Every structure is written in structure tokens, then in C-alpha cells.
Amino acid sequence: MAPGHDSSKEVLLDRALTGVQDYLDGNIDQTQLRETVDKFEKLSEYEQLPTVPISSLSLKEIEKVLGLKFDRKDQELQHVPELQLPPNLVRTLELIDRASGRSPQSEVSIRWVINALLLHAHEIATTDHPNTQPLNIQMEKTYTHSPVTWKKTKVKLSVCPYYKIWCGEDGEDICLNVLIVKARNLDIESGVAQALGSMGCIHRKRKIAKRDATVYGMASNGTSFSFLKISNDSKWSKR
């Protein structure tokens, strides 16, 4: 289900009530009324599904639930050229390191690093390509995706990536291209699983919309970075 599900529920409820009134007034026939009611019934069924946090699933469970398969042959991420860090970014990272001092690394300190990287990357992308579609960063927006089958039960997945990067003006649920996840408890592998799960939900939604379903992502614990890709044919790779 796309982000903004609550607003969709309100819209459908309003349409259902309007449909009933239109039918009573003779403005629509039974077929049109039935179509409106069917949509509302499907939404009601969705609301009753149990919710499973994507962060509670293992990598293997995510692959199974979302129909993903690891692809060793996809070398796109391996061939991405390295770029020299801008002096301003180097300076910012030095300030973060100095401010952190001898403090133990925490999830908050990871945020400092990722925030700095994202802000500078956004500036570079928008400066070098000023005429492209708007580039937007959304932070910590929870959404749900369903239905999926987990342990022989239909459920909806609860997803909350820390950052979502999307371009265009059609809405982030369709135009979303990149997801970034901060590893919980500094465990990079759990971050990879969570990022892949979040990406997989968007991948499935784009497939349903018959759009290019390629999605990229990153997981980080502040010192290690894993870059991920799900191709249009539901195969994923990692660097």
C-alpha cells in the first residue's frame, strides 16, 4: 500500500457515502454503486490484516515474502566510479569526528554522518543537473505494504526507512528511487536486511503500477556502507 494510506481511506469513505447518496438521488445505477462499495470493502479487509514490522524479518524471510532473488551476475554497483569528496564535505566529517571525540558510537552519531553525506550529495546532484526533475528527500515516513504472505498468513508489512530520495512531481510512492536505512544497534547486516525489505515493498508497488521497478538503497552503521539494487526483474545485488 502506498504512503498516505490514511488519506486514501478517508477519500474512499467519502466516496462511499457520496455514492450511496447519489444512488438514492438517482444519479448513479446499481453497477456504479457496487464498484464504489467493492473498493471500500477491499480497504476494510486490508485494515484487518495483522501488521509485521519489516525490521523483524531476516534476509531470507524478506527474499521469500517479497519474491526477491540474489543476483551474483549484476555488476552495475561494482562499476560505479569513485568520486573525490568535496572539500566542504571533508571538513564537515572532520567536525563530526572531532565533536564525537571519544564518545562511543551510537545511532545518533550515525545520523550525523549520513545527514552530511546526503546534504552534500543533494547539492552536487541539483547543481550539476539544474534542469532535471525536482529531487526530494523524505525522512522517517512510515507506511505499510500488503498483502504479502508470511508464515502462511496474509499480512501487511510496516516499513520506516530513515531516508527516501525521489524525483519528480507525481508522488513519492511511484517516483521513489532510493532508500537509506541506518543500521540498528550498529549491525550492518541487519541494516542490509531492513533496507532490502523497504526497497522490495516499493519495487512491488512500482511493478503493480507497470513502472520501471528498479530501486536502489543503502545501509550504513556510520563506518561501513552497503549499497543495494533491486532490478526490474526482482533480482537484487550488493556492493
**Model confidence at 230, in pLDDT bands (50, 70, 90)?**
very high
Mean pLDDT, the chain, integer: 81
Residue 27 per-residue DSSP state: S
* 37 and 109 part of one domain: no
**Cα separation values, 51 from 23, 67, 75, 164, 188, Å:** 35, 19, 35, 21, 25
The average pLDDT across 135-143 equals 78
* 20 and 75 part of one domain: no
- pLDDT recorded at residue 181: 77
Q: What's the structural domain count of the chain?
A: 2
Which residue segment(s) compose the domain that 102 sits in? 51-238
Q: How far apart are CA 193 and CA 215, in angstroms?
A: 15
* 116 and 159 part of one domain: yes
* 115 and 202 part of one domain: yes
The average pLDDT across 197-201 equals 91
* 194 and 130 part of one domain: yes
* 110 and 4 part of one domain: no
Residue 202 per-residue DSSP state: H
The whole-model pTM stands at 0.73
